[in-house]
């Protein structure tokens, strides 16, 4: 499946805003909502897609494989879950650290088009023997 990379940057911009708000407020429920959005992304469902399609009318100049962005969503989900656990058990450095890492990755994608999770996916694929793929 091929996807429009601009849609992922759009989603990353919203995610950046949400995660920054989580860091400012310490709102575990908002982080939970973002975790749910990450889980939807892993499943290939983007709640931001209709908004993106309304705002952007031009066709993409290029498409990319959907697997790396889905992996990136899974990594974001893991960090969000760790952040939630940190907030729930009152280990603030864990909560803030995990949320900040997810924010940093989302910001890199939104601002520079560099998908850290996608790059991790590609490195893992290169290091995995072809027989196990």
For the stretch 89-125, pLDDT in tens is 999 999 999 999 999 999 999 999 999 999 999 999 9
Query: Residue 127's CB: how many other CB atoms inside 10 A?
Result: 7
What SS3 class is residue 15? helix
Report residue 100 CA to chain centroid gap. Answer: 12
Q: Is the separation of the CB atoms in 99 and 22 below 8 Å?
A: yes
Segment holding 3, helix H or strand E: strand 2-3
pLDDT, tens digit, 9 for 90 and up, residues 60-98: 999 999 999 999 999 999 999 999 999 999 999 999 999
Q: Which domain holds residue 88?
A: 2-127
Mean pLDDT of 34-39: 98
Counted domains in the chain: 1
pLDDT, tens digit, 9 for 90 and up, residues 2-35: 999 999 999 999 999 999 999 999 999 999 999 9
What SS3 class is residue 26? coil
Kindly state the tokens that stand for 30: 């908002």
Instruction: Please state the pTM of the whole predicted model.
Output: 0.92
Domain contains 6 = yes
Domain contains 132 = no
Domain contains 61 = yes
């Amino acid at each position: 499946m091929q996807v429009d990379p601009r849609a992922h940057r759009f989603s990353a911009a919203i995610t950046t805003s949400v995660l920054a708000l989580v860091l400012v407020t310490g709102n575990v429920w908002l982080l939970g909502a973002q975790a749910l959005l990450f889980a939807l992304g892993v499943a290939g469902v983007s709640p931001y897609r209709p908004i993106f399609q309304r705002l952007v009318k031009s066709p993409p100049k290029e498409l990319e494989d959907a697997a790396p962005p889905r992996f990136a969503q899974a990594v974001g989900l893991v960090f969000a879950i760790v952040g939630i656990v940190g907030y729930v058990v009152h280990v603030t450095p864990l909560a803030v650290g995990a949320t900040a890492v997810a924010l940093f990755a989302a910001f890199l994608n939104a601002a520079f088009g560099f998908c850290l999770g996608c790059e991790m996916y590609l490195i893992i694929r290169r290091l995995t023997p072809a027989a196990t793929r």
